[in-house]
Structure formats: C-alpha cells, structure tokens
Amino acid sequence: MSTPQPTADAVSAAAMLSLRWTTRIISELDDNGPIPRRAAQATFPDIPEDSLQHGMRSLRQRGLLQVRGRRDDDSPLGLTEAGRDLGDVYEALSRWARRHDYPAPQTGFVTRVEATLVLLRDRSTVNLLRSPSTTPNGYGARRALHAGLISTSPDGRYVLTAAGEGLRQALAVLTDWAAAHPQVVVAAASRRPGRPTTELHRIAGPALPLAQASSTHTPRLPR
C-alpha cells in the first residue's frame, strides 16, 4: 500500500463524505443500528426512492455500508467498521460548526457536518490549516477569510483565528479516520466523483443554503 499523504487523504476523505445523502444515511444507521432492506424507504422518507437506492449502492461501493446475511429484502443494512468510526468525525465537525455558527446560526446537524466537509474538500484550505504560514492563493485566501478561518496580522501576514484553530483540530480527527481506513479513501479517490451535497459545493462562505433534510434528523451524537 502506498505511503499515506495526510493532506491528500484528508481532502479525498472530505470529498467522499460530502457526497449527497452520505451524512444523512450514515448518521441514521449509527444512531439506530442496521435496518432491513425493505424498511429503507420508510426509514428515510425524506429521500426520493431512486436517490436512496443510488446513495446506498454508492455507500456499499465506498466500503461504508454492508448487507449482512442473505441478500433479500429482510437482509439487514448496516455500517462497516469504517462507517461506524465516522461517529467521532461527525461529532468533531458538528461541534466546530455549531460553536462558530457555520454555515449559519440556526442549522441542523446534517447541514453543519456537510458544510464543514465542503470546506475541508478544498486543498488550499487544508494546506492553510496545516501550515498557517503558507500564503494561500487568491481564491483560497478569500474562502478562508469569508469563513472566518484567518485574519490579517499588523504586518500583513495571515494568521489562524480561533475558528481556524478549532477547524484544524477537527481536521486532525478526519485525518486520523482516513489513516485508519486507507483502503476506503484510496478506493473512493480512484472512482469517478459522485454528486456533491445539495448546493454546498458551490458556496464559499457562511451564508450557505440549508439542506432540506437537515431538520428532519436529530442524531444522538453530542453537540
């Protein structure tokens, strides 16, 4: 297996995890355990049936979801070890977003996690968090400034704000997850990118539109 590259692996992990419905499905299964395949639509009534089937198939291909036992309608759908371990990642991302009102003061758990993952799927943002002395490119600097991650010191240098320091800690949790499950990250990076989460991938700063499904799910993870 190739030597892990922390920045590249974290960016790849964030890109994979920010695909649409990923947070919603994994959080539900993490909260309540496996469900029979025939109960999937009743469990996720807010997700269109074709989108749900596509999302679950994609999660299985990415090594986050598995079918246990017989492959019939009663076979339980559950998380793999990599999927279960995302609980710590989601908790860290959600806590950071809530503490810093990102992407807005009143948002649900799913939106907070997704919006933070969108920040971390940007390589320039991750590089900046890892090495604050690095001068980001024009877009990277604007994005980081708009998100409140950096400020300008009296001598004109960029420095991390409290929000930036906090996101760096959340990034470390994501990086640890990627290092613990390299086969999942490598496999996902080699696949054709899927559909991003709602419209979050197109927005740089805090004023992000709310994901419709965010208010429908209240997970047990600590806030």
pLDDT tens digits, one per residue of 42-95:
999 999 999 999 999 999 999 999 987 666 567 889 999 999 999 999 999 999
pLDDT of residue 109: 96
* 139-151 residue pLDDT tens: 777 888 888 998 8
Q: Does a structural domain hold residue 76? A: no
Q: Is residue 123 part of a domain?
A: yes
Higher confidence at residue 215 or residue 111? Answer: 111
Number of domains within the chain: 1
Residue 207 resides in a domain: no
Percent of the chain at pLDDT > 90 equals 58
Is a pLDDT exceeding 60 seen at residue 132? Answer: yes
Q: How many residues does the chain have?
A: 223
What residues are paired with 65 via a beta bridge?
79
Q: What is the DSSP letter of 209?
A: P
In a domain, 128, yes or no: yes
Q: Is residue 154 part of a domain?
A: yes
Domain containing 104: what range? 85-180
In a domain, 39, yes or no: no
Q: Give dist(CA 189, CA 62) in Å, integer.
A: 10
Q: Is residue 94 a contact partner of residue 113, using CB atoms and an 8 Å limit?
A: yes
C-alpha distances in Å from residue 168, one per residue of 116, 131, 163, 214:
11, 10, 9, 24
Segment among 66-80, 119-133, 192-206, 207-221 with least mean pLDDT: 207-221
Mean pLDDT of the chain: 81
205 closest CA partner among 128, 116, 124: 116
Kindly state whether residue 69 falls inside one of the protein's structural domains. Answer: no
- Whether 30 maps to a domain, the answer reads no
- How much is the pLDDT for 93? 98
* pLDDT for res 187: 75
Residue tagged 């991938």 (tokens): 201
